[in-house]
Structure 1
Amino acid sequence: MKKIVLTGAAGRLGSYLREPLSKMADALVSTDIAEDIGKLYEGESYLKADLGSLDEMMAVMEGAEMVVHFGAIGDEAPWEDILHSNIIGARNVWEAAYQQGARRVVYASSIHAVGMHLKQDFIGIDAPHRPDTYYGLAKCFAEDLGSLFWDKRGLESVHLRILSAAQVNNPRSLGSWLSYDDLIQLVQRAIEAPTTGFSIIYGVSNNDRAPVDNHLASYLGYRPKDNAEQFAEKVLAEAPPPDPTDPAQMCQGGPFATVELGHSGTATMNIVNDKKEV
């Protein structure tokens, strides 16, 4: 294809997507609110742009065939911040993609759109929305936005409900882990699928303890290869005793299920910033 747009290119997950996406099109336009993202890959250019500005998104999307939307705030935050970047920003991405003639949006949704469901329920992609935070609510909005734009305007979208794309260092991550290699495969399959309409798929590796069911999304061709069980002995040996009365341990959203609205859900999660360097 001729042009792919990647939002959130300065973020941790974006750093792992830039190189493979640059090989899938003649041009990759990466964008974020950072001043720059350092060295660029062959065929990649960078445009600083604010998701909250439709005009800026229109400029970024010009000529794009695919949009990989990983931008916005990646944690629970005050309502006004979520509204600007994650809700208005999502609307601007879809509107600009439609007006500029893009074929599909591949969106970094989140398990937090359904975060208050119990892990033991083994939910599928058809589980009803049950957000755990304003952050999760914004993911619900973007999923419904994608559905609306498919039904009314024919713009395809694939919504990747990512569980936890970070190093495995706690019991929850034994089920929720999405390795970076599997993340890349997931995005590539969402781009390469001949048709998708409006689709949802969980972003999770091939973990023995995965708490979600992706079989209804098998048509996308995603077949994860990595398994967090390799870390289980060490993680469980170092973890405190489990508490089945704690929603943070029982719910899909983990700590987001108990955090106060507007307050960080990642603050207690010990996420390692192993961002890829070019």
Structure 2
Amino acid sequence: MKKLVLTGAAGRLGSYLREPLSRMSDELVSSDIAEDLGQLYPGERYQKADIAQYDQMFDLLDGADVVVHFGALVDEVPFEEMLGPNFLGAYNVWEAAYQRGLKRVVYASSIHAVGMYLRSDFIGTDAPHRPDTFYGLAKCFAEDLGRMYWEKRQLEAVCLRILSCARVTNTRALGTWLSYDDLIQLVTRAVDTPTTGFSIVYGVSNNDRAPVDNSKASFLGYRPKDNAEQFAERILKQAQPADIKGLSDTRHGGPFAAVDLGESCMIQMNIVDDKKEN
């Protein structure tokens, strides 16, 4: 592969993807709205670009084979704030990818596209959308955009419905955890699988308590290695009793399912900022 592009490269997940992606192509162009990324990996260069600006995406994707699109607001915010980066940004990436003749978009979708399903529902990759927030609605929009661009314009897409890619700090994460090593494997398979058409795959590790079914995406070759059960004894010992009537404890979206639309949720998530330093 001659050129890969990664958006959202300054984010926590992007920090773990840069090095492995830099080894998959002659050139990796990492992009974000930050001024710089600091030290770069061999074969990597940085190009500052705003996903909400189509002309900047068009320039960014010049000569690329695949774009790994992780750039977005990653919290629930009012719709007007979400519109530019998460809705319009997705369109800009897909349209620029089509105009530039890319083969595929690999997209960081989310469990929040189906976050209002009961956690006891073992949902598959073909479960109809049930977003829990404006954030989840943006993921639904991008997934449908990806399906349409495949069916109308033959631009492939792999949508990674990531569950919880962060340290395990709560009982929900015993089922939803995606380790960084498994994240890297997931993105690698989404990039190097010869043909994908339009595909959805859940971003989750090989957890005993995983609440989703990836069997229909098995052709991608994603075989997660890590298991959150290693944290179960510690997490369960310190856990508060579950609220069997509360949305946070009973829906796939967890706290996102319980907040009011437009209300920030990240403060409740207790996410450890363990961004990789290169």
TM-score when scaled to structure 1?
A: 0.99
Q: Partners of 1:81 and 1:273 in 2: how far apart? A: 23
Taking the aligned partners of 2:249 and 2:24, their CA distance within structure 1 comes to 39
Q: Secondary structure at the match of 1:35?
A: coil
- The aligned counterpart of 1:119 is 119
Structure 1 consecutive aligned stretches of length 4 or more whose deviation exceeds 3 Å: none
Query: Which residue number in structure 1 is paired with residue 9 of structure 2?
Result: 9
**Structure 2 partner of 1:52:** 52
Query: For residue 264 of structure 2, what is the amino acid of its counterpart?
Result: S
Query: C-alpha separation between the residues in 2 aligned to 1:242 and 1:139?
Result: 28
| Residue 244 (structure 1) shift | 1.1
Decide whether the 8 Å contact of 1:119 with 1:212 is kept in 2. no
In 1, Cα distance between the equivalents of 2:226 and 2:149? 34
Q: Which residue of structure 2 aligns with residue 139 of structure 1?
A: 139
Q: 5 Å matches for 1:42-81? A: 42-81=42-81
Per-residue CA deviation, residues 211-249 of structure 1 (Å, 9 max, x unaligned), is 000001000000000000000000011111112111101
SS in structure 1 at match of 2:158: strand
Q: Quick one: distance in 2 between partners of 1:29 and 1:15?
A: 13
1:162 deviates by 0.1
Separation in 2, partners of 1:264, 1:61: 32
Structure 1 residue runs without a partner (length 5+): none
Give the stretch that moved more between structures: 153-162 or 256-265: 256-265
| 2:233 is aligned with 1:222 | no
Aligned to 2:266: 266
Q: 1:80 offset after TM fit, Å?
A: 1.2
Q: What do residues 100-135 of structure 1 show as CA deviations (whole Å, max 9, x unaligned)?
A: 111000000000000000111100000000000000
1:173 paired residue number: 173
Contact 1:162/1:202 (8 A) holds in 2 = yes
Q: Aligned runs of 1:204-215 on 2, under 5 Å?
A: 204-215=204-215
Q: Which string of whole-angstrom CA distances, capped at 9 and with x for unpartnered residues, describes residues 166-206 of structure 1?
A: 00010000000000000000000001111000000000000
Q: What is the CA–CA distance in structure 1 between the aligned matches of 2:13 and 2:48, rounded to whole Å?
A: 18
Shift of 1:89: 0.2
Secondary structure at the residue paired with 2:120?
A: helix
Structure 2: tracts of 5 or more residues without a match: none
Counterpart CA distance in 1 for 2:95 and 2:56 is 12
* Distance in structure 2 (CA, Å) of the matches to 1:80 and 1:27: 35
How far 1:78 sits from its partner (Å)? Answer: 1.4
Could you say which residue in structure 1 is the equivalent of 2:23? Answer: 23
1:264 shift after superposition: 1.2
Q: CA deviation at 1:254?
A: 0.2
The separation in 1 between residues aligned to 2:104 and 2:271, in whole angstroms, is: 31
Letter in 1 for 2:126: D
* Separation of aligned partners in 2, 1:259 and 1:266: 10
Report the AA paired with residue 201 of structure 1: V
Question: How far did residue 90 of structure 1 move?
Answer: 0.2
Q: Say if 1:117 and 1:252, in contact at 8 Å, map to a contact too.
A: yes
Report the Cα offset of residue 63 of structure 1: 0.3
**Two-structure CA RMSD over aligned residues (Å):** 0.5
Q: What is the CA-CA distance between 1:8 and the residue it aligns to? A: 0.1
Residue identity opposite 1:121 in structure 2: D
> Which shifted more, 264-273 or 172-181?
264-273
The aligned runs of 1:31-50 (5 Å cut-off) are 31-50=31-50
The answer as to whether partners of 1:103 and 1:156 remain within 8 angstroms in 2 is yes
Q: Look up the match of 1:191.
A: 191
Aligned twin of 1:200: 200
Once the two structures are TM-superposed, the CA of residue 75 in structure 1 deviates from its matched residue by 1.1
Matches within 5 A, 1:85-164: 85-164=85-164
Q: How many Å apart are 1:47 and its aligned residue?
A: 0.7
Amino acid at match of 2:242: P
Alignment check: 8 A CA contact 1:31 1:46 kept: yes
Contact 1:51 1:93 in 2 (8 A): yes
Q: Secondary structure at the match of 1:260?
A: coil
Q: Which amino acid aligns with 2:247?
A: P
